[in-house]
Amino acid sequence: MKPRSKTEYIVIHCADTYETMDIGADDIRKWHVEERGWSDIGYHKVIRRDGTVESGRDIGVSGAHAAGYNSVSIGVCLVGGRGQDDEAEDNFTPQQWESLEELVDQLQASYPDAEVLGHRDLPDVQKQCPAFDVRSWLFAIQQ
């Protein structure tokens, strides 16, 4: 696996799973390795429904979560994000929001020049991931 060269972005994702699915990094790793043939889970951190933050890919290694930006970003994945209608849905728990805020604070302390954004905010991304507006959320918590 290739080391990450620098950190320009902290990219927030969702697992695109229903709110009833309580999965974690091991489940996502299995999907990425066994079903997609990747060398490891694509994300560096996974936040479970109960707010537990699990480590995924080593933080010093390029992820596999944002094509074209993996070598310059850290990938954080919230479990959830898919509604019963199979559309993107902000169905994250209060515990996940609390953990996301704490994790982003920690990552920003380590990587102060990194921009925090949602996967959908990267150029040419045609997805709704992570099912909420990261910039608005970040602005609101920093007030």
Q: Which residues are catalytic?
A: 13, 43, 119, 127, 129
Tell me how far CA of residue 102 lies from CA of 53, 98, 106, in angstroms: 10, 6, 6
| Strand-pair partners of 117 | 11
Total residues found in the chain within this entry: 143
Cis, bond preceding 3 (omega within 30 deg of 0): no
Q: Write the CB contacts of 50 (distance below 8 Å, at least 6 apart in sequence).
A: 22, 93, 95
